[in-house]
Structures are given as structure tokens and as C-alpha cells.
């Protein structure tokens, strides 16, 4: 039997070991943080991350300096977005909310089992312009929440739009005339649904798009999706709890593209579809607003009759293509938008039965996922590149796949964000 002295020594040793481990972990985290490339923008939250505060006497004594340091480390710890995604997935799966832990029994719980399979019927979701009925909206974590709907607020300037256009022009000069280049800028939902009362919440999207298009080379074809989408502003074209557009919004952009490219768009009333219900998207996860939780979205995806072979590519091997499926039908919950093209894969390819000689590559961020499937109705080959993740020889890939048309499609935030602009520029080795 151990003596009191021996027990105390053992406890002291354990405490010392714990302190060493904690300090070691902190030091390791610090080294990792310093050595890792810092992102200035959170892809998941679509916002600029906090920078390290500038020291001043006034900031020190007011407490703002240390508050700024707290914000900086909160925004810049290693693998931040991955940890947040893990946290959100954990919450979604196990029903965890702050101050409350619930563990669902998947065999005996309707909430855990409400999404078993996709339906062929859409849930009625509130959409269309905001009612000017005296209701008051509020801003939560850089998101405008009005009743049970949430919106991003655009604030990009002309210099950044010009920088985006310059990058697109550089590809046009390199590839033209063998490859026809298109550009499509996607507006945000608030552009169509904002009321007079809140018109100063964001910068108008159309002048920003005009600035980009006026800066593009004359032989680049500009797709005015904003005008086509505006015609349908009363419809369900953007999600209420997520920053993306719906497949219907993407369809109207596809219609605008077809007009520009000399194509005939497929008629939606002839196409079967499936629906993923109970989608609570990025804006809900960011704000955790209970009103948004009461108004979940539905994600519709279309079952085109055209046969298509879908492949997942590899950034480092031009000839590697693994056969797969265009839709990730098993996804659900917060991941429902990933049904399109199986989410944000670096490189995918769709080959169809059409033999019209038209082969297009799409350079996109996540908005393009819902758009790209429509093109299988018009092209014999559609290659989709995610500008954020593709690291291969982009120009060589275009040549290898016989691409003769190239579409850059980006939401208006991406077209005014240095992160995306540099990613697009970096594709050209």
C-alpha cells in the first residue's frame, strides 16, 4: 500500500506532465499557425477574416487592442473552417445546441429519421420580394435577417471588379480564337428582394456587373443572367437559409447563357425531379437564428432524360477519370446542396450522347455546382473545374479534352474577392 507521501509525489508528477503536455500542444499549435498559409477570407462564411490589430495607446487603454487580438485568433486558428464544419456536422447529427445536449435514438426518433429518402414533391417555401409590411430586419454576423429569411450583403468596389476582369482577359488573350470565352456574374438574392427601406444595406449588383463586363475584352461573351433572373423574382430562386441560389435560379441563368451561346434551353416542365427537404444552410449555421430554423429550405435536382457518363478527375493526371454519379443522392441535412456534382470536387467531367462538336469547360466556385448539370442537354462534353481546389495544368487539360468553349461563372462576391481572383489567376501555370 502506497504512503501519503508517495501518492502526493505521484500526483505532483502527473500535474507536471499535464502542464508540459498543455504547453507542448500550445507551442505546436503556435508553430503550425505561424507556418501555415493564412487565408484572408473564410470560404465557408463568405467573409473577410479579422487581421491582427494595430497597437496604439488609445486602443490599449480602451480594451479594443486585446479585443482585436481575441478576434484575430478566433478567426485564424489552424484548419478553422474544417473545425467549424465538423462542429456543424456534429450539431446536425446529434442535435447539439449551445447549453443543451440531445442524443437522438436513430431507431426511435422521428426527427432523426425525417430525411430517409428524397421526395418527388417540393415543400412550399416562402420566396419572392420582401413584404414592406412594417416588419423590421436585423443584421446578425454580417447577415441580414428579415423575418424567417437571411441574406448576404454585397459591398465590393470597382477596383476589385476590374482586377477580376483583367484575369479573365488574360485567359482570353491566351486561348482565343481557338476557345470562345464567356463570363457570367451571379447576383445575390438581396438584389431582387430588398425593399426601399433597406436599399442602403448593400451596393447595387447591376452597376458592379456592368463595371466588370465593360472591362472585359470585346470578344468575350457576357451573360446577363441578372436580367433573366429578375423576371422571375417572385419565384423560389434563392434559398432562405443558405447563400446559394436554388436549381431554379441556376436554371434561369442557364437560359440566359443559352441565349448568349446560341443554344436552345431544355424546358423544365418536361423534366422529372427529386427534392431534399429540411435543408438548413450556411446562413442558418452562421446565425443560428430560430426563425430561420422554422423555415427550412428544399433542394430540388433534375433527372434529365439524356444519358450521361460522369467522371471524377485528378489534378495531377490528365488521363485519370474515375466513373461515378452526377448527383450525390445520399447527402442530406446541412449537406443537401452537395447533391449537385457531389459537392466541391476539383475536377469532374460529363460526357453525353450529343455529337455536335461543342465541348465546354466551366471554371466556378460553389454556385456553379447547381448550374453545370443543365449543360448536359446541349454539349457533348462538360468539364467542371473548381478554381479553389484544382492544382493541375489547366491549359494542358483544356487541350487534352478538346475544349472549344470556356465559361467563367462566379457569384458577385467571388468576383470581388482577392482570394478567388488569385485562385482563378493561379490556374494558368
N-to-C CA span, the chain = 71
112 inside domain: no
Q: Quick check: 169 and 421 in contact, CB under 8 A?
A: no
Both 170 and 34 in one domain: the answer is no
- Mean pLDDT of all residues in 80-97: 44
- Tens digits of per-residue pLDDT, 53-65? 776 655 555 556 5
pTM: 0.73
Chosen domain end from 39, 59, 83: 83
Considering only the C-alpha atoms of the chain, give the largest distance between any 2 of them, rounded to a whole number of Å.
Answer: 89
- Sequence-distant (6+) residues with CB within 8 A of 42 are 48, 49, 75, 80, 81
Both 312 and 212 in one domain: the answer is yes
Does position 98 have pLDDT exceeding 50, yes or no?
no
Whether the upstream peptide bond of residue 258 has omega within 30° of 0, thus cis, is no
Both 73 and 148 in one domain: the answer is no
Number of domains in the chain: 2
402 inside domain: yes
Both 402 and 279 in one domain: the answer is yes
Mean pLDDT computed over every residue of the chain: 82
β-strand pairing of 317-324 with 308-314: antiparallel
288 inside domain: yes
Both 79 and 142 in one domain: the answer is no
Which region among 48-57, 248-257, 354-363 has the lowest average model confidence (pLDDT)? 48-57
Q: Quick count: other Cβ atoms within 10 Å of Cβ 231?
A: 12
Both 255 and 399 in one domain: the answer is yes
- Tens digits of per-residue pLDDT, 190-223? 999 877 788 888 999 999 999 999 999 999 999 9
Identify the pLDDT of residue 136.
78
Identify the pLDDT of residue 340.
97
Domain of residue 368: give its range: 138-426
Both 232 and 381 in one domain: the answer is yes
167 inside domain: yes
Both 67 and 161 in one domain: the answer is no
Identify the pLDDT of residue 193.
82
Both 48 and 159 in one domain: the answer is no
300, three cell numbers: 430540388
Element (H, E) at 211: helix 205-215
Identify the pLDDT of residue 97.
34
Both 72 and 178 in one domain: the answer is no
Chosen domain end from 54, 83, 112: 83
Q: In angstroms, rounded to a whole number, what is the distance separating the alpha carbons of residues 217 and 215?
A: 7
148 inside domain: yes
More confident residue, 207 or 81: 207
Task: Using a pLDDT cut of 70, give the percent of the chain over it.
Answer: 70
Chosen domain end from 65, 83, 101: 83
269 inside domain: yes
Both 78 and 157 in one domain: the answer is no
- Sequence-distant (6+) residues with CB within 8 A of 98 are 288
Which region among 43-47, 88-92, 341-345, 399-403 has the lowest average model confidence (pLDDT)? 88-92
126 inside domain: no
Both 143 and 62 in one domain: the answer is no
Element (H, E) at 410: strand 405-411
- Tens digits of per-residue pLDDT, 107-159? 333 333 344 467 766 666 666 666 666 677 889 988 999 888 999 999 999 99
90 inside domain: no
Q: Quick check: 400 and 332 in contact, CB under 8 A?
A: no
Amino acid at each position: 500500500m502506497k504512503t501519503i507521501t508517495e501518492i502526493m509525489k505521484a500526483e505532483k508528477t502527473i500535474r507536471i506532465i499535464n502542464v508540459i503536455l498543455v504547453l507542448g500542444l500550445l507551442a505546436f499549435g503556435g508553430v503550425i499557425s505561424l507556418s501555415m498559409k493564412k487565408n484572408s477570407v473564410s470560404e465557408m462564411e463568405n467573409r473577410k477574416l479579422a487581421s491582427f490589430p494595430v497597437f496604439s495607446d488609445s486602443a490599449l487603454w480602451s480594451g479594443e487592442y486585446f479585443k482585436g487580438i481575441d478576434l484575430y485568433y478566433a478567426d485564424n486558428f489552424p484548419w478553422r473552417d474544417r473545425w467549424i464544419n465538423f462542429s456543424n456536422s456534429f450539431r446536425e447529427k446529434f442535435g447539439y445546441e449551445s447549453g443543451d445536449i440531445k442524443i437522438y435514438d436513430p431507431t426511435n426518433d422521428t426527427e432523426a429519421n425525417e430525411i430517409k429518402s428524397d421526395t418527388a414533391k417540393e415543400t412550399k417555401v416562402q420566396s419572392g420580394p420582401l413584404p414592406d409590411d412594417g416588419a423590421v430586419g436585423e443584421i446578425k454576423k454580417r447577415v441580414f435577417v428579415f423575418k424567417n429569411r437571411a441574406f448576404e450583403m454585397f459591398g465590393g468596389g470597382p477596383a476589385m471588379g476590374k482586377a477580376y476582369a483583367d484575369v479573365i482577359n488574360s485567359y482570353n488573350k491566351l486561348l482565343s480564337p481557338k476557345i470562345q470565352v464567356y463570363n457570367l456574374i451571379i447576383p445575390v438574392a438581396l438584389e431582387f428582394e430588398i425593399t426601399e427601406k433597406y436599399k442602403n444595406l448593400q451596393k447595387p449588383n447591376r452597376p458592379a456587373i456592368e463595371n466588370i463586363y465593360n472591362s472585359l475584352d470585346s470578344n468575350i461573351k457576357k451573360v446577363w443572367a441578372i436580367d433573366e433572373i429578375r423576371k422571375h423574382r417572385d419565384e423560389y430562386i434563392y434559398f432562405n437559409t443558405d447563400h446559394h441560389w436554388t436549381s431554379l435560379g441556376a436554371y434561369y441563368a442557364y437560359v440566359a447563357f443559352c441565349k448568349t451561346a446560341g443554344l436552345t434551353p431544355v424546358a423544365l416542365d418536361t423534366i422529372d425531379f427529386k427534392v431534399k427537404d429540411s435543408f438548413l444552410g450556411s446562413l442558418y449555421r452562421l446565425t443560428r437564428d430560430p426563425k430561420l430554423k422554422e423555415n427550412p429550405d428544399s433542394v430540388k435536382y433534375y433527372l434529365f432524360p439524356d444519358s450521361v457518363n460522369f467522371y471524377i478527375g485528378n489534378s495531377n493526371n490528365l488521363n485519370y477519370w474515375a466513373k461515378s454519379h452526377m448527383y450525390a443522392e445520399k447527402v442530406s441535412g446541412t449537406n443537401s446542396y452537395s447533391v449537385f456534382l457531389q459537392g466541391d470536387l476539383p475536377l469532374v467531367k460529363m460526357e453525353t450522347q450529343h455529337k455536335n462538336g461543342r465541348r465546354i469547360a466551366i471554371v466556378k466556385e460553389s454556385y456553379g455546382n447547381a448550374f453545370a448539370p443543365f449543360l448536359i442537354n446541349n454539349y457533348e462534353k462538360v468539364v467542371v473545374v473548381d478554381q479553389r481546389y484544382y492544382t493541375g495544368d489547366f491549359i494542358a487539360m483544356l487541350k487534352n479534352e478538346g475544349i472549344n468553349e470556356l465559361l467563367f461563372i462566379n457569384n458577385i462576391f467571388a468576383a470581388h474577392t482577392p482570394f478567388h481572383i488569385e485562385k482563378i489567376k493561379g490556374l494558368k501555370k
